[in-house]
Amino acid sequence: MADKHLHAASLAAQALGWVDPMTKAIVPPIHMASTYERDADNAYRSGRVYARPDNPTFDQAESTLAALEGASAALIFSSGMSAATACFLALSPGDHVVAPKVMYWALRNWLAAFATRWGLRVDFVDADRSEAIAAAVRRGETKLVWIETPANPTWGVTDIAAAARIAHAAGALLAVDSTVATPVLTRPIELGADIVMHSATKYLNGHSDIIAGALAGARQDAYWASLKTMRAQLGTILGQTEAWLLMRGMRTLFPRVAWACRSAETLAERFVAHPMVEEVLYPGSPSFAGHAIAKRQMRGGFGGMLSVRVKGGERAAIASAARVELWKRATSLGGVESLIEHRASIEGPGTPCPTDLLRLSVGVEDADDLYRDLDQALRRADNA
């Protein structure tokens, strides 16, 4: 599908218009082979050697994601963590990196523990303040600035274009965890980012049935080559069936995200006035601190993630989560089913997450049903 004027939603729905040249099937096969035959003269004219660094089942998912992100290329990984950590492992011991104080907790812990043992120097900053990023970078020393926007679980928004200018002026790359925004709402490369990371387990797949990660790169340069080598040498590849399921999920990415955005905005508006809610954290709320930046760099909605801070503190928040009937108490986000989680309990000691916070991942159920269920849970918890 070569027409560059087609909307990204059309490209996703038809997986770039792929049709099997031999069978004319409109759904790709799963290639299970682990190795490929060498030609009689010792060449590999097929372009395939071994399935660890390369598998035909990867091609469609990677090409589609690259097109959606406006990237030069994409790589899929065995998990979001393997994709994210590859970005840091591709650096050299002694390099300096800047990362947010509020971000995906598992990656923050990895940076604070393992990455420093690897020899990286890490500074954590309030990434929703551009001046804090600027103060942390060190010209000639900082090699990577990592941001996450909106940032899990309080949904702070980082100005991507400003962060890119700061990083590039210092000679560093900018990587953006865009898991929550997805390419439906934000294309960080257009705003100056060098690398875009997705926990593809979440919205890209959208059905809570695989673990996957992905990177999209603005350029196929030496750093990108290092990422490809890192994936091959560490073996952090996605299984063939999981790659097929990831592509299956991306074909419905746009309608799923659009539905979740509408419902999340409705819920945010209604819970603002709820007697048991202290505060609603959602980039789409006009009163939210990062709303102006979100409005500038997110198009078509503000995402399907929001958090509510419950009056009555930690006890009331946990009791409310215990009383839902439609929402599912589970870790993760971005699936078709709506999830609720007392996030501080998951993150444990040292978390910056408020203990009265409930994280909500809005799926594709009816918004009125979702509101009624959480409303009754909040009120029952208050009366307990």
Query: Among all residues, which ones are annotated catalytic?
Result: 52, 104, 177, 202
Q: Which of 305, 300, 312, 310 is nearest to 288 (CA)?
A: 305
Which tokens go with 214? 């992905």
Q: What are phi and psi of 12, to 5 degrees?
A: -65, -45
Residue pair 359/153 in contact (Cβ under 8 Å)? The answer is yes
Distance CA 344, CA 102 (A): 12
| Four-residue CA torsion sign, 339, 353, 282, 97 | negative
Contacts of 303 (CB under 8 A, 6+ apart): 150, 155, 180, 181, 185, 257, 260, 261, 264, 283, 284
Which long-range CB contacts under 8 A does 363-368 form with residues at least 24 apart?
363/260, 363/263, 363/304, 363/335, 363/336, 363/337, 363/338, 363/339, 364/256, 364/259, 364/260, 364/263, 364/336, 365/263, 365/326, 365/337, 365/338, 367/262, 367/263, 367/266, 367/267
Distance CA 203, CA 185 (A): 12
